[in-house]
Amino acid sequence: MKLTLEGLKDREGWKKADVALPSYDIQAVRAETVKNPVWVHFGAGNIFRMFIGGIADSLLEQHLSKTGIVCAESFSFDIIDEIYRPYDNLVLGVTLKPDGSVSRQVIASLAEAVRSSTKNASEWARMKEVFASASLQLVTFTITEKGYALKNAAGEYFPYVLSDLEAGPDGATGVMAQVAALLFHRFKNGKLPIAVVSMDNCSHNGEKLQNSVLTVAREWNSRGKVPQEFIAYLEDSSRVSFPWSMIDKITPRPSVEIGKALEEAGIEKMQPFVTEKKTFIAPFVNAEGPQYLVVEDNFPNGRPPLEKAGVYMTDRDTVNNVERMKVTTCLNPLHTALAVYGCLLGYTLIADEMKDAELLELVKRIGLKEGMPVVTDPKILSPKAFVDEVIGVRLPNPFMPDAPQRIACDTSQKVGIRFGETIKSYVAQYGSAERLEAIPLAIAGWCRYLLAVDDEGKDFELSPDPMAAELTAQLKDVVWNKPESYTGQLKSILSNANIFGSDLYASGLGEKIEAFFREELAGAGAVRTTLKKYLK
């Protein structure tokens, strides 16, 4: 069987493979989406395809929607060329349960796939057509935290951003400039209302998206590329809103073993591969069952009935509280700690790390001991129940092929939120964060990870990170197995508020992290010895 529209006609074969198929008319949905697009999404990767795509699929199954999603990819075009189009935009979703069972379904809500680029005339024309449509209600994003960044750690615009600012809307290349350009096109076609919604896993995601889009637009305005009236349009929340959201669903890289199992069930060409941009993709997406999406209900042009598909629709304060609970306390900090120490200790599965006494104790202390005193209770979800599910059910799931190497990607863009917010909360509540120990131990682990030498002295490859070259250069004179080679090289990193959200020395943690780091340099087994020492 093939995962194509033609292949779906063999409904009996898919039933034997234990794969649920859509009950709605896929071709009718796609035709209506082209004619009257309602939803466009930037970032066509794995979590979008299964989670966000699954939400749209649920609405179609319930006959609560007539259109699917226009999927726009502005970075890794291989995703569109290799995973969307050859499979007619269909996705095979595989839910991995803690008892080892799985559920499989074909998701067909991804109605259209576009390579979003001003250098591709026909596909850019389609993007502009979509944004000029009065029917368009929402633009959503899963482009990771770094997708919103316009400046480097020194506060300077990235070179490609400078080029975008000089080029104006017609020459936009980065995703933030593209979005600003497309909103400008919508503005010129009637000042139509729209909700622009980040669904990325970062603090105050709606604010980050809004600030980046407005920064680009204001820079264009200062250069005479767009009128002041366009800025007023973007600043008018009754016309253009930037709702905040919180998303949570662990979606690992596609597993070779799962691909093999699907092929053994009779489904052709299911093996994952890596794109030129180092993106792990496959025709299927494997993920855990638990999922949470909380969205600020502010949609100037209306919206699909998302709450009917399990989305929590609420106010901004509640979204912020849920997001803070998860991103800064109950899940993401635990993930990052496991990621860096997993790489150092030779692990390749998060679930296996949860069997490690020291690492289990580390995440318990980060989430339960150090996080709970400053966590904000969002009321609609219990922080204690949430973190208990994370530690007791989600992270230990042995059938989730989630790797610390994946979680370690872009850590420089994450530590300021995942650890920095709790640090700032301690400073605000206690005057200093010096009572913290597990969180600074995790930060020391990240610094030790940046040496790209594991606890046995073996070299390993750092996961992709936009600051990797800059950070490793600052640590180039630090030598594994020679603690005396450390002469303060971390100071410029730990004091960098652009990385951590504050100066960690002013927070009372800089010297403590340096001490942990120095101990973890002391030769083979030093990382393990340090963890045991402080996690007794």
Distance CA 500, CA 498 (A): 6
Task: Kindly indicate the confidence band of residue 280, based on its pLDDT and cuts at 50, 70 and 90.
Answer: confident
H/E stretch holding 146: none
Tokens of 97: 């349960």
Question: Residues with Cβ < 8 Å from 232, sequence gap 6 or more?
Answer: none
Task: Kindly indicate the confidence band of residue 101, based on its pLDDT and cuts at 50, 70 and 90.
Answer: confident
pLDDT higher than threshold 90 for residue 237: yes
> Exposed, middle or buried, 510 (CB in 10 Å: 0-12/13-18/19+)?
buried
pLDDT score, position 191: 98
For range 470-495, the mean pLDDT: 97
pLDDT score, position 536: 86
CA dihedral 312, 317, 318, 322 (to 10 degrees): 100
Per-residue pLDDT of 69-98, as tens digits, reads 999 999 888 899 999 999 999 999 999 988
Tokens of 238: 């009754």
Backbone φ, ψ for residue 376 (5° rounding): -100, 125
pLDDT higher than threshold 90 for residue 449: yes
Q: In which region does residue 376 sit, left (phi positive, over 0), alpha (psi from -120 to 50) or beta (all else)?
A: beta
pLDDT score, position 274: 84
Task: Kindly indicate the confidence band of residue 250, based on its pLDDT and cuts at 50, 70 and 90.
Answer: confident
Min mean pLDDT across 45-54, 217-226, 245-254, 353-362 is at 245-254
For range 131-158, the mean pLDDT: 94
DSSP bridge pairs for 53: none
Tokens of 504: 């960690």
Per-residue pLDDT of 32-58, as tens digits, reads 999 999 999 999 999 999 999 999 999
Tokens 């390749």 locate to 348
Pairing mode, if any, of strands 102-107 and 19-20? parallel
Task: Kindly indicate the confidence band of residue 323, based on its pLDDT and cuts at 50, 70 and 90.
Answer: confident
pLDDT score, position 475: 98
H/E stretch holding 94: strand 91-96
For range 152-166, the mean pLDDT: 94
For range 360-372, the mean pLDDT: 97
For range 136-147, the mean pLDDT: 95
Tokens 């129940």 locate to 385
CA dihedral 4, 282, 293, 378 (to 10 degrees): 170
Task: Kindly indicate the confidence band of residue 235, based on its pLDDT and cuts at 50, 70 and 90.
Answer: very high
Backbone φ, ψ for residue 276 (5° rounding): -60, -30
Q: Which of 223, 242, 251, 188 is nearest to 49 (CA)?
A: 251
Question: Residues with Cβ < 8 Å from 363, sequence gap 6 or more?
Answer: 334, 337, 338, 354, 391, 395
- The DSSP output letter for 374 is G
H/E stretch holding 198: strand 194-198
pLDDT higher than threshold 80 for residue 411: yes
Task: Kindly indicate the confidence band of residue 431, based on its pLDDT and cuts at 50, 70 and 90.
Answer: very high
pLDDT score, position 65: 98
pLDDT score, position 203: 78
pTM for the model stands at 0.81
pLDDT score, position 46: 93
pLDDT higher than threshold 80 for residue 270: yes
pLDDT higher than threshold 80 for residue 328: yes
pLDDT higher than threshold 90 for residue 399: no
CA dihedral 113, 115, 118, 124 (to 10 degrees): -20
HEC letters along 454-467: CCCCCECCCCCCCC
Output the average pLDDT for the chain.
Answer: 95
pLDDT score, position 297: 98
pLDDT score, position 2: 97
Decide: 510 and 495 in contact? Cβ < 8 Å: yes
For range 342-349, the mean pLDDT: 97
pLDDT score, position 347: 98
Helix (H, G, I), strand (E, B) or coil at 38: coil
For range 104-132, the mean pLDDT: 97
pLDDT score, position 275: 80
Tokens 């690492």 locate to 359
pLDDT higher than threshold 80 for residue 277: no
Task: Name which residue leads in pLDDT, 279 or 158.
Answer: 158
C-alpha separations of 437 from 74, 321, 340, 442, 443 in Å: 41, 24, 16, 9, 10
For range 414-438, the mean pLDDT: 96
For range 209-238, the mean pLDDT: 98
